[in-house]
Amino acid sequence: MKKILAFALVLMLVRANAADNQARAILEKSVAVTGSLRGSSYVMKGYERQRGKLIILEVLTKVNVAPNKIYTKVLSDPNKGTELLFVKGQNSDKVRVNPGKFLPTLSLSPFSSMLTKDQHHTLLSSGFNLYTRLIKDAMKRADDQKRFDDVVKLEGEVVFNGRKCYKVVLEDPTFTYITVTGKPGESLYTLNQRLLVPECIVVEKNAFVKNFESDLSGKQIKVPSAYAKKSTIYIDKETYMPIFQEMSDDIGVFERYEYSSLKLNPSFKEDEFSEKFADYSF
């Protein structure tokens, strides 16, 4: 009987280790794919926590990685039809905004409060670069703490939007809040880029941070120790793209993103990131 129990225990450990190794392999392949993208186009349905509620936003997005070019069109109310166009090195690195409704086209900073009001991210975060950086960082921190098996779990397979996916959950047992000092010229965007913390949580935890234009130089800023306490990701089994991402803090879900009509490395037309493109209404 003891031999049977011992064998069963060993078998359970072997299976657990195999699942952990598979989870690592899936994440490594996923970030290799997203990290090597030259461009993408997709429809993203986002749910972002604003004043305690998840607000829905749906957008069509096209991204060219190098040079950085971004086009988005809002598909949901109240700003349905609004178009945004950004091309690095053009228009003084400002975003061209076509608000529709017979209003004139504007040029605005990507960090303008008019553009980022009630938004978790700026237009510059479009695409999958942030996902790549976040997953790499989470895996490195888990390895450094020798806690990878505690942090990353493969929880089987799911079908999402008709796609077979791996369900991977990352849960940080060390998640807490710390205080950092804003560097000279620090903004909400540069703080995110430097520490990989969610801008929306920084706004929630610090009353003096109003928007992306807030000057955080020399300020004592309360930030989470990681981007999320728990992240649930559905990774497409065929493409290894993260077509569902849900992030939670100590309160609950603060953002969820769902991707459909996803195209990898599409052949964009020569004028596809210009106001003259036939499908746009600038």
**Strand, coil or helix: 195:** helix
What percent of the chain is predicted at pLDDT more than 70?
93
3-state helix, strand, coil in the chain (%, to 5): 30, 35, 40
The single-letter code of the amino acid at 171 is E
Instruction: Locate the domains of the chain by residue range.
Output: 2-36+130-259, 39-125
Lowest mean pLDDT: which of 4-13, 98-107, 146-155?
Answer: 4-13
pLDDT at 2 over 50: no
Cα–Cα distance, 195 to 133 (Å, whole number): 11
pLDDT tens sequence across 172-218: 999 999 999 999 999 999 999 999 999 999 999 999 999 999 999 99
pLDDT of residue 21: 87
Q: Burial of 252 by CB count in 10 Å (0-12 exposed, 13-18 middle, 19+ buried)? A: exposed
pLDDT tens sequence across 232-242: 999 999 999 99
10 Å Cβ neighbour count for 171?
Answer: 15
- Confidence band for 25, pLDDT divided at 50, 70 and 90: very high
Contact 195, 221 (CB under 8 A): no
pLDDT at 59 over 50: yes
Per-residue pLDDT, averaged over 113-139, amounts to 96
| Sheet with strand 83-87: strands edge to edge | 106-108, 95-98, 83-87, 69-74, 53-64, 39-50, 253-264, 242-248, 230-236, 163-171, 152-160
The pairing of strands 83-87 and 69-74 is antiparallel
Nearest to 260 by CA among 75, 67, 35: 75
pLDDT of residue 18: 52
- Confidence band for 12, pLDDT divided at 50, 70 and 90: very low
pLDDT of residue 1: 53
pLDDT at 170 over 50: yes
Per-residue pLDDT, averaged over 237-251, amounts to 98
Per-residue pLDDT, averaged over 101-125, amounts to 93
**Strand, coil or helix: 7:** helix
pLDDT of residue 226: 96
- Confidence band for 19, pLDDT divided at 50, 70 and 90: low
pLDDT of residue 100: 87
Q: Burial of 77 by CB count in 10 Å (0-12 exposed, 13-18 middle, 19+ buried)? A: exposed
Average pLDDT, the chain: 93
Per-residue pLDDT, averaged over 250-278, amounts to 97
Cα–Cα distance, 35 to 207 (Å, whole number): 35
pLDDT at 231 over 60: yes
